[in-house]
Structure 1
Amino acid sequence: MKVEQGVRGLCKSRRFVPLFATQFLGAFNDNVFKTALFVMIGFYGLGQNGFLPAGQMLNLGALLFILPYFLFSSLSGQLGNKFDKAVLARWVKVLEMIIMAVAAYGFYIRSAPLLLACLFCMGAQSTLFGPLKYAILPDYLDDKELMMGNSLIESGTFVAILFGQILGTAVAGVNALYCRDTG
């Protein structure tokens, strides 16, 4: 099997495309949210109502997003081994939608503490989904497709991170007037 045919075949496969789209959009969503939040805190004064200075909020945000990876990584692997991976992945994605709905409300009411809590929850959600997306691949792909599937998932993640950071910065810029009107 040629590499070109393998990529085309996987990109048209109903076994692979839903997982790829799910992980791509999840990484994209994480980075739009995180980048927009950090830009709005750092450049537009979101949360400058006595909660914490901007520099400390940015550091706290970075900590809150990364901390779940240390706290919940082993739990995520155990859950993936104990329960049906596809069902677990669906529930983790439902959790992501709920967190993002709360985050949208947090942006609406301009609540930095609520948004930072959502950032922690998104880190936890990403921690739960990360091992699942790789563990589920052998269930849906043949052995010959597994390496290509892993590489597409990984490269898609990097592209999603890049596009998410670009859009997050743009979204924060559009909302600059919204945040400046606080007070």
Structure 2
Amino acid sequence: MVTHYYTASSLDGFIATADHSLDWLLKQDIDEDGPMAYSGFRAGLGAIAMGAHTFEWIMANDEDGWGYTLPAWIFSHRDLDLPEGADVRLTQADVHEVHAEMTAAADGKDLWIVGGGELVGQFADAGLIDEVWIQYAPVTLGSGAPVLPRALDLEMLDVARNRNFMCGRYKVLGAL
């Protein structure tokens, strides 16, 4: 079991605009079945965790609504409307506790920390991120949510091009 931080980033290191939009990303050309694409990555997952902003963006912008069948933990300090019939849990718990719950629920499959920002930073601080996958899009945003707001030492494991995306997979060696 591996805990992944899988995300897309602008070339200048942002995963979302200052107002949490991902519209810039959805305009990019990618082969959904190509190297390091989301569909192949998602196939090995057993549980996911994300912050409230990412969850709210998905709920507001995904035409299919909540498309995940995996157990999901949403970190939020406020009440959110959760999709009916889905295994979605609101939490304010420590990332160590949630990671243990995710591991138990994933039944040997991998874990995904979705989105970024402070939540992925907390998982990184706790030493709970094993790999970082970043799909770099040919766009700059100038500001917004940073791809990873922590200083980490990484080792490149794989690199590929998927149409307009430069894709990298890295092993987390530890904090700098």
Scaled by the length of structure 2, the TM-score of the pair is 0.25
Q: Which one has a larger percent strand, Structure 1 or Structure 2?
A: 2
Q: Which one has a larger percent helix, Structure 1 or Structure 2?
A: 1
User: In terms of Rg, which structure is larger?
Assistant: 1
The higher-RCO structure (CA 8 Å, 6+ apart) is: 1
